[in-house]
């Protein structure tokens, strides 16, 4: 919970935006038919969110190998999807009474993956996402800014920035790595385009010319 002095400190430093770095682990790549089995997030105030989600079928061996998430782990520590999604909405809306601004949801391949899963999975369970969310895709940011690289996936960027992802393909660990990666991406963007304001970045990503 932020204290009054912390809120004052953030606002006086110009940090008046809530930025949430998040990642999902899923049972597949199809946002219409696959399921979310883990949500991990960390915001610019250091608040974490990490939840495993029950899956009522057997996980594909490939997903187990990639993520390290097993059927036994979900049975033991997973929670019901609707409960996790409601808790995630509560996490997203944390401090909203302090900061009357849009909330920025940052993920890697947000446009092609994470945002779509959030949209359709939350619809499935009749849970509304907050209306003031703005999604930021760091894959697009990296592609726009770092044309010297052939690959812009998380693994390649972590290697480029010397970021050690202690538990790759687990949601919270990936979200923490993304948060670390975001600052140098902003610096590179500013060097190229003269600003690191997040709203300017979004305009440039979707209107590059």
- Strands 36-43 and 133-137, sheet pairing: unpaired
Question: Residue 173 sits in which domain range?
Answer: 20-206
The CATH number of the domain holding residue 96 is 3.30.420.10
What three-state secondary structure class fits 184? helix
The residue ranges of the chain whose pLDDT is under 70 are 1-16, 97-100
* Total structural domains within the chain: 1
pTM of the shown model: 0.92
77 domain residue, yes or no: yes
Q: pLDDT (tens digit, 9 = 90+) per residue, 77-107?
A: 999 999 999 999 999 998 776 666 789 999 9
CB neighbours of residue 110 within 10 Å: 21
What three-state secondary structure class fits 135? strand
d(CA 18, CA 99): 8
**Residues 171 and 42 sit within 8 Å (Cβ to Cβ):** no
Q: Which two tokens stand for residue 59?
A: 């996980």
Burial class of residue 3 in the structure, from the number of CB atoms within 10 Å of its CB (0-12 exposed, 13-18 middle, 19+ buried)? exposed
14 domain residue, yes or no: no
d(CA 21, CA 141): 14
26 domain residue, yes or no: yes
Instruction: Give the DSSP letter of residue 149.
Output: -
Q: Which two tokens stand for residue 12?
A: 């006086």
117 domain residue, yes or no: yes
187 domain residue, yes or no: yes
d(CA 48, CA 26): 19
- Residue 18's pLDDT is 87
First to last CA, the chain: 42
8 domain residue, yes or no: no
Q: Report the sign of the C-alpha dihedral through residues 208, 41, 181, 10, in that order.
A: positive
d(CA 73, CA 156): 29
Ramachandran category for residue 46: left, alpha or beta (phi over 0 → left; psi -120 to 50 → alpha): left
12 domain residue, yes or no: no
H or E segment at 180? helix 171-193
3 domain residue, yes or no: no
For 132, list phi and psi in degrees, rounded to 5.
-95, 25
């Amino acid at each position: 919970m932020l204290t009054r002095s912390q809120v004052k400190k953030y606002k006086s430093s110009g940090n008046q935006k809530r930025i949430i770095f998040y990642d999902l682990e899923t049972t597949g790549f199809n946002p219409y038919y696959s399921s979310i089995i883990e949500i991990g997030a960390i915001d610019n105030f250091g608040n974490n969110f990490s939840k495993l989600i029950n899956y009522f079928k057997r996980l594909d061996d490939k997903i187990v190998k990639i993520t390290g998430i097993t059927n036994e782990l979900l049975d033991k520590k997973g929670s019901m999807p609707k409960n996790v999604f409601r808790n995630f909405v509560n996490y997203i809306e944390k401090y909203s009474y302090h900061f009357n601004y849009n909330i920025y949801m940052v993920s890697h391949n947000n446009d092609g993956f994470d945002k779509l899963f959030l949209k359709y999975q939350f619809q499935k369970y009749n849970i509304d996402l907050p209306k003031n969310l703005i999604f930021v895709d760091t894959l697009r940011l990296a592609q726009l800014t770092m044309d010297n690289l052939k690959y812009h996936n998380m693994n390649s960027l972590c290697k480029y920035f010397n970021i050690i992802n202690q538990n790759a393909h687990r949601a919270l660990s990936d979200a923490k790595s993304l948060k670390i990666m975001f600052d140098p991406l902003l610096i590179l963007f500013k060097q190229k385009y003269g600003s690191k304001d997040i709203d300017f970045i979004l305009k440039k990503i979707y209107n590059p010319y």
